[in-house]
Amino acid sequence: MTVTSIEKLTREAAAAELADLQARIEAANSAYHTLDAPDISDADYDALKRRLASIEAHFPDLKSTDSPSDKVGGAVADGFGKISHEQRMMSLGNAFEDEDVTDFVRGIRKYLNLTDSAPLVFTAEPKIDGLSLSLRYEDGVLVYAATRGDGEVGENVTANARTIADIPQALENAPKILEVRGEVYMSHADFAALNAQQDARGDKRFANPRNAAAGSLRQLDAKITAARPLRFFAYSWGVLSEPLGETQAASIARLAELGFQTNPLTQTCDSSEEMLAHYHRIEEQRASLGYDIDGVVYKVDDLGYQHRLGFRSTTPRWAIAHKFPAELAWTRLEKIEIQVGRTGALSPVARLTPVTVGGVVVSNATLHNEDYISGRDSRGEVIREGKDIREGDWVQVYRAGDVIPKINDVDLTKRPDTARPFAFPEHCPECGSDAIREEGDAVRRCSGGMICPAQATEKLRHFVSRAAFDIEGLGARQVEAFYKDGWVREPVDIFLLEQRYGAGGLQQLRKREGWGDKSAENLFAAIREKRRIPLAKLIFALGIRHVGEAGASLLANHYQSWVAFEQAMTGALIGEGAEWLDLLTIDGVGETFATSLVSAFHQEAERASIDRLVALLDVVDAEARATDSPVAGLTVVFTGTLEKMTRAEAKARAESLGAKVAGSVSKKTDILIAGPGAGSKATKAADLGIKVLDEDGWLKLLEGA
Ligand code: IVH
């Protein structure tokens, strides 16, 4: 290759060379990924990228908008481009028992303030066991297809989606902007044929149709996807420039008219009895449908009601998935092992002789805690008729959906004579520290904190997990390896990797198994990219006990910025004071959650580790609440009886308009909305000179918002 020095390069020659370089880099990326067979050396690849970057630096206006230099290592690190969902892709809450369904319906009536006799219609349809996909059409043309990802950002799988026959490329008479959501799946027959083909080629079989569908959709080479028979059912939508209908059923009918496959077993029901009857009808047909379903989804039919009901942090209030009962199988429990989790919990795990349960091979099951093994639940009540679980036992395993398999029963007639009651360890099997069980806690915990390698690695694994920092190229396996070598002991070390091991360290990193120049450089770029992190993700990533994704997002919405959050946590005292009370005003935050959170910020080592980390980050404040509403930023309190809507709805509405809803009146309260029967809160508000409105006055204030 003759290389012209940049200074001598004409504009035309530069443009041509850039196009050539870009094509070669993309070809190399694709060879590296899809064929798992890089066709050029790391050094040559790096040279191409350097040349590209230097030409771009000299001719900035020639730089292409999709230049490989803007991608984290191009397709190599990334695989697929990312797409932010304009409207979040939600998941569904679960119901397991009939009673959960009647509770769901009752809760909705209560929220909407409907009497038992007021009409309330639901749709009921199969829950397809595949993977969800969002299709965006603009002016009737498919512009992209994105996977769910973490609900906010998914992967761009447009080229692959275009190969699916059920997905129209163009629509007639469609809204200007239309996002269709649904499930990609594979039929049983196609799955069997695919596995037969895998066998014939000596390739690995897929465990079930869902894995096969996911593996097929996430191929970097669309030709492979095209050869895999995927299907698509439409059941929902995202952004729309105009409504599809007034009801769920009418909207789905419109999608069918537009050319989408919709599920023929969808039906409207006007009572929980009808919903349950349809659930059982679908359950009876399950085995003969020809594709996997794992339950029935109920949705409120009236879209006006759906709108009023709105969403919790990750699930709609207006829909629920009623799962089919778990599947069962018997097998031998070979060994009980203890795993130490991120919060130090000693979790017993059953290692089983592998057995197929509902199409999936199961070889591990959770045993919860020592009481569970000995035949008692967390309240000390007898379970499994008091039968304990021992190594060597013949046990019944059950699994429901994605839930970790559990042990349901023990067959004592098959218990070997040699089986002994399981002695639960009183020391951490990983670091030897005392494993302590506090009163009232079912779980025994290692007291070693971050000196315990198991806790430290689990914390790191959680930190890099998908819902947390999600660093491309730094998964659980890599972070564990870094921990073992002492490169990463706590989260902040990840962000110091480049400084400590970059440049000269790059060679060190390269020497490690599985790392080349390219992947090392990609890793550093991916880490750099994640220095900027949304507040909710950061809070979740800290791995504080009880603080899950939903809790983290409640906290982020309440405190808005890291500074405000940290100040409140540091200032809070457990059980007293303004910060503590303010924390508890958050709907969904209880005492256990609050105690765990505040104590984490009061543990010196933990606190210092958080500070070291945050100093290197650029934390993005929670999305500002609506600011153009008349109540944005105000703190309001509801008291007494509301007549036009329930308390829950009033609260959700106020919050969606940017107000903070508190449970008690204080100096910080801006407005008290007092219905009939208001008591001490109204008196207190009057004493403090706080504005008081009745329900009508409040609704008037919101008018037009
Ligand atoms: S509705 C806002 N309907 O189940 C509501 N979801 O467990 C969006 N799923 O992420 C979901 N069949 O991938 C809906 N008939 C159906 C479904 C369905 C399967 C999946 C979907 C969702 C997951 C939640």
pLDDT digits (tens, 9 = 90+) for 156-184: 999 999 999 999 999 999 999 999 999 99
Pair 212, 341 in one domain: no
pLDDT of residue 73: 31
The answer for residues whose C-beta is within 8 angstroms of residue 476's C-beta and 6 or more apart is: 461, 464, 465
pLDDT confidence of 561, banded at 50, 70, 90?
Answer: very high
Residue 21's domain is classified under what CATH number? 2.40.50.140
Read off the pLDDT of residues 515-550 as tens digits, 9 standing for 90 and up.
Answer: 777 888 888 899 999 999 999 999 999 999 999 998
Pair 542, 557 in one domain: yes
pLDDT of residue 161: 96
The total domain count for the chain is 4
613 with 496: CB under 8 angstroms? no
Mutate to test the pocket of ligand 1, among 94, 104, 128, 240 (most ligand atoms within 8 A of CB): 128
* Ligand 1 neighbour 266 (Cβ under 6 A): no
* Ligand 1 neighbour 129 (Cβ under 6 A): no
Nearest CA to ligand 1 atom 6: 127
In a domain, 306, yes or no: yes
Count of helix runs (H) and strand runs (E) in the chain: 26, 24
Nearest atom of ligand 1 to the alpha carbon of 266:
15
Pair 139, 194 in one domain: yes
pLDDT of residue 28: 65
With a cut of 50, say whether residue 75 has pLDDT above it: no
Cα-based angle 318, 322, 324 (whole degrees, multiple of 5): 170
540 with 552: CB under 8 angstroms? yes
Across the range 596-615, mean pLDDT stands at 92
Read off the pLDDT of residues 312-341 as tens digits, 9 standing for 90 and up.
Answer: 878 999 999 999 987 788 999 999 999 999
Kindly give the interhelix angle for 504-511 and 491-501, rounded to the nearest 10 degrees.
110
Contacts from 437-440 at CB under 8 Å and sequence distance 24+?
437/370
User: Highest mean pLDDT range out of 23-32, 46-55, 420-429, 570-579?
Assistant: 420-429
Query: For 349, phi and psi rounded to 5 degrees?
Result: -125, 135
Give the helix ranges, DSSP H, for 467-513: 476-484, 491-501, 504-511
DSSP labels, 238-293: EEESS-S-SBHHHHHHHHHHHT----TT-EEESSHHHHHHHHHHHHHHGGGSSS-E
Ranges 42-51, 178-187, 571-580, 611-620: which has the least confidence: 42-51
Residue 693's domain is classified under what CATH number? 3.40.50.10190
Pair 333, 287 in one domain: no
* Ligand 1 neighbour 180 (Cβ under 6 A): no
Cα separation, 597 vs 60, in Å, equals 48
Cα separation, 682 vs 687, in Å, equals 9
Final residue in a domain of this structure, among 353, 381, 414? 414
pLDDT of residue 340: 93
Token pair for 219 = 């191929």
Mean pLDDT of the chain: 88
pLDDT of residue 16: 82
Across the range 189-217, mean pLDDT stands at 90
The more confidently predicted of residues 520 and 71 is: 520
In a domain, 501, yes or no: no
Nearest CA to ligand 1 atom 23: 91
In a domain, 480, yes or no: no
Closest to 247 in 3D by CA, of 301, 319, 181: 301
pLDDT of residue 583: 92
Across the range 652-658, mean pLDDT stands at 83
Supply the DSSP symbol for 311: B
Nearest CA to ligand 1 atom 22: 91
Cα separation, 289 vs 287, in Å, equals 6
Final residue in a domain of this structure, among 323, 339, 355? 323
pLDDT of residue 398: 86
Distance from the alpha carbon of residue 183 to the mean position of ligand 1, in angstroms: 7
Pair 348, 280 in one domain: no
Q: Which residue do the tokens 């390069």 mark?
A: 9
Distance from the alpha carbon of residue 88 to the mean position of ligand 1, in angstroms: 13
Supply the DSSP symbol for 393: -
The more confidently predicted of residues 657 and 321 is: 321
pLDDT confidence of 234, banded at 50, 70, 90?
Answer: very high
Residue 615's domain is classified under what CATH number? 1.10.150.20
Distance from the alpha carbon of residue 118 to the mean position of ligand 1, in angstroms: 27
Nearest CA to ligand 1 atom 21: 132
* Strand, coil or helix: 231: strand
Nearest CA to ligand 1 atom 16: 127
pLDDT of residue 33: 45
Distance from the alpha carbon of residue 296 to the mean position of ligand 1, in angstroms: 10
* Ligand 1 neighbour 241 (Cβ under 6 A): no
In a domain, 606, yes or no: yes
Final residue in a domain of this structure, among 414, 441, 458? 414
Token pair for 577 = 């004071």
* Ligand 1 neighbour 91 (Cβ under 6 A): yes
Pair 584, 670 in one domain: no
DSSP labels, 101-134: HHHHHHHHHHHHT--TTS---EEEEEEESSEEEE
Closest to 88 in 3D by CA, of 198, 250, 238: 238
Cα separation, 515 vs 512, in Å, equals 6
Closest to 62 in 3D by CA, of 107, 14, 112: 14
Across the range 13-39, mean pLDDT stands at 68
Give the helix ranges, DSSP H, for 535-666: 535-541, 549-559, 562-571, 577-584, 591-602, 604-614, 647-656
Across the range 615-640, mean pLDDT stands at 85
Sign of CA dihedral 462, 464, 466, 467: positive
Pair 188, 266 in one domain: yes
Read off the pLDDT of residues 446-493 as tens digits, 9 standing for 90 and up.
Answer: 988 888 999 999 999 999 998 899 998 898 888 998 998 888 999 999
Pair 124, 250 in one domain: yes
In a domain, 419, yes or no: no
Distance from the alpha carbon of residue 25 to the mean position of ligand 1, in angstroms: 38
> Residue 529 belongs to what H/E stretch?
helix 517-529
pLDDT confidence of 70, banded at 50, 70, 90?
Answer: low
Pair 107, 42 in one domain: no
Nearest atom of ligand 1 to the alpha carbon of 319:
5
Beta strands (DSSP E) in 141-230 are 141-147, 153-155, 177-185
Nearest CA to ligand 1 atom 12: 127
In a domain, 603, yes or no: yes
Pair 223, 310 in one domain: yes
Read off the pLDDT of residues 355-387 as tens digits, 9 standing for 90 and up.
Answer: 888 767 889 999 999 999 999 987 788 999 999
Question: What is the domain extent for residue 640?
Answer: 635-701
In a domain, 17, yes or no: yes
Token pair for 676 = 């009939």
Q: Which residue do the tokens 């939903």 mark?
A: 550
* Ligand 1 neighbour 572 (Cβ under 6 A): no
298 with 124: CB under 8 angstroms? yes
Q: Return the percentage of the chain with pLDDT > 90, whole number.
A: 58
Pair 228, 284 in one domain: yes
Supply the DSSP symbol for 94: E
Read off the pLDDT of residues 245-292 as tens digits, 9 standing for 90 and up.
Answer: 999 999 999 999 999 999 999 999 999 999 999 999 999 999 899 999
Contacts from 60-69 at CB under 8 Å and sequence distance 24+?
62/11, 62/14, 62/15, 62/18, 63/18, 64/18, 64/22, 67/22, 68/22, 68/25, 68/26, 68/29
Q: Which residues of 387-401 are buried (b: 16+ CB within 10 A; e: fewer)?
A: bbbbbebbbbbbbbb
Pair 644, 591 in one domain: no
Read off the pLDDT of residues 81-106 as tens digits, 9 standing for 90 and up.
Answer: 889 999 999 999 999 999 999 999 99
Catalytic member of 49, 71, 127, 651: 127
Mutate to test the pocket of ligand 1, among 129, 135, 297 (most ligand atoms within 8 A of CB): 297
Q: Return the percentage of the chain with pLDDT > 70, whole number.
A: 90
49 is a catalytic site residue: no
The answer for residues whose C-beta is within 8 angstroms of residue 490's C-beta and 6 or more apart is: 450, 456, 459, 460, 609, 612, 613
Distance from the alpha carbon of residue 91 to the mean position of ligand 1, in angstroms: 6
Distance from the alpha carbon of residue 127 to the mean position of ligand 1, in angstroms: 6
Nearest atom of ligand 1 to the alpha carbon of 311:
2
Residue 275's domain is classified under what CATH number? 3.30.470.30
* Ligand 1 neighbour 236 (Cβ under 6 A): yes
In a domain, 463, yes or no: no
Supply the DSSP symbol for 12: H
Across the range 124-151, mean pLDDT stands at 95
Q: Which residue do the tokens 């397709």 mark?
A: 75
* Strand, coil or helix: 515: coil
Mutate to test the pocket of ligand 1, among 96, 123, 127, 317 (most ligand atoms within 8 A of CB): 127
Beta bridge partners of 335: 351
